[in-house]
Structure 1
Amino acid sequence: MPRLTFIARATDGLILVETWDDINNNKSLQTFKQQAKQLLKKLDQAPPRCSVDSSTHTFHYLCDSGICYMTLCEKSYPKKLAFSFLEEIHRAFQEELKREFGTHSVDYRSQIETVEKPYYFIKFDRTIQRKKMEYRDPRSNKALQKLNDSLTEVASIMRQNIDEVLQRGENLEDVGRKATSLKYESDKFRKAAHTLNLQALARQYAPLLVIGGVIFLFIVYKVFSWTR
């Protein structure tokens, strides 16, 4: 599950809001928090979307319009779900910006650049906490649905990009590469969704199978005892 989550200004790493789990009782998370702050200060020239390993955990981040969204998860946590979580935080924060600065011809990036105090959006912590609960268990049915929704969104964006290429009359080889990329990403999502679905079914029916097995063995034992 997402353990640490930050929203920060990409140009200098100024933290706008952060949230965590049991950080006061976990020294390792304190260390990760310091690592996150150092990383946030170096993202201005970094790729807009990336994962950075740190011992037993991984930082995932995405940057858009001068704002960085970062979360820390265990290495075993699916990367696709981590970025799906960040995308949801990104969309929710965009709505927060509309409430804070209005919606009429507002340049939110410029507004963020004028923020001087850290934790300016500290109240947004409550929204992040609600979203984290939805991503707590990567094997849950809700997480599986999030993964499927992400697949649909990515496929839609890729198709839109291909349509734009066709409208501009670009080289058909470029169209072919984008189509291949779409198929590859779709296959990856489909396999991940299938795996999560099997895990969810196993968790749902495993207790019943165990109970059934115990009852069956008990009946066999009783029958064997009577025939002796």
Structure 2
Amino acid sequence: MVKLYALSVFRRAPEGGTVLLKGSYDLQSFGFFQRGSVQEFMTFTSQMLVERTQPGGRQSVKEQEYMCHVFVRADGLAAVLVSDAEYPHRVSHTLLTKAIEDCAAANDWKTANTETLRNYKALDVMLARYQNPKEADALTKIQAELDETKIIMHNTIEAVLERGEKLDDLVAKSEGLSSQSKMFYKTARKTNSCCNF
């Protein structure tokens, strides 16, 4: 099952170093006494990734069963998403872009810090909303629906082909049809064979 664990926004200083502006965490899958250490480790890893990513760059780094996705804008505003390895990369980077744009629009991020952004709850809402990528991302939802339709169509075509073979057997065994009717059926079957899969 896909899972998001953390979404954080950082300010990268031109002279070096990063400042955590706001972080949102969903650590319910970890033990109660582990959550503090896990959050601290995710924050440290996220900060390190921001420092090692070029301005204007994106990257995804895998560590065991976790993925860390990072996006650093050219002006120094950055976001990091920690997810499981199964979470779609495209949706992850869409969420990072949305988080950065929302944070920049809602706050003066160049002078902000964790204290001034204490009441900024948009990251919590985004982290909760994007837990299910099929519901949060329209393109992923459409792809899932197309995959489902494709499976249904494939099963339907297989059933029709099986029925066609059974009809062939019945026509061959039928004594009630004249030889002329059987010949007509075989000719029609050959003529329509171009449409079979």
AA partner of residue 145 (structure 1): A
AA partner of residue 59 (structure 1): C
Displacement of 1:67 in angstroms is 0.7
Match of 1:13 in 2: 18
Match of 2:117 in 1: 121
Aligned residues: CA RMSD: 3.0
AA partner of residue 54 (structure 1): E
Displacement of 1:133 in angstroms is 2.2
Q: Is the 8 A contact 1:59 1:71 kept in 2?
A: yes
Q: Does the residue aligned with 1:50 lie in a helix, a strand or coil?
A: strand
Q: Does the residue aligned with 2:4 lie in a helix, a strand or coil?
A: coil
Displacement of 1:42 in angstroms is 3.3
Q: Is the 8 A contact 2:6 2:127 kept in 1?
A: no
AA partner of residue 121 (structure 1): L
Structure 1 Cα separation of the partners of residues 7 and 31 of structure 2: 15
Match of 2:61 in 1: 52
Q: Is the 8 A contact 1:60 1:72 kept in 2?
A: yes
User: Could you state the TM-score of these two structures normalised by the residue count of structure 2?
Assistant: 0.59
1:197 aligns with 2:192: no
Pair 1:94–1:33, CA change in 2 (3 A): closer
Q: Is the 8 A contact 1:17 1:119 kept in 2?
A: no
1:137 aligns with 2:132: yes
Identity of aligned residues (%): 14
Match of 1:67 in 2: 77
Q: Is the 8 A contact 1:15 1:119 kept in 2?
A: no
User: Could you state the TM-score of these two structures normalised by the residue count of structure 1?
Assistant: 0.52
Instruction: Write the deviation string for residues 59-92 of structure 1: whole angstroms up to 9, x where unpaired.
Output: 1111122111111011100001111111211221
Q: Does the residue aligned with 1:37 lie in a helix, a strand or coil?
A: helix
Displacement of 1:15 in angstroms is 0.6
Q: Which runs of 5+ in 1 are unaligned?
A: 102-107, 149-192, 206-228
AA partner of residue 63 (structure 2): S
Q: Which runs of 5+ in 2 are unaligned?
A: 153-197
Structure 1 Cα separation of the partners of residues 61 and 102 of structure 2: 24
Higher helix share: 1
Displacement of 1:119 in angstroms is 4.7
Larger Rg, first or second structure (1 or 2): 2
Match of 1:215 in 2: none
Match of 1:4 in 2: 6
Structure 2 Cα separation of the partners of residues 136 and 201 of structure 1: 24
Pair 1:136–1:41, CA change in 2 (3 A): same
Match of 2:100 in 1: 90
Displacement of 1:145 in angstroms is 0.8
Structure 1 Cα separation of the partners of residues 60 and 139 of structure 2: 19
Higher strand share: 2
1:35 aligns with 2:30: no
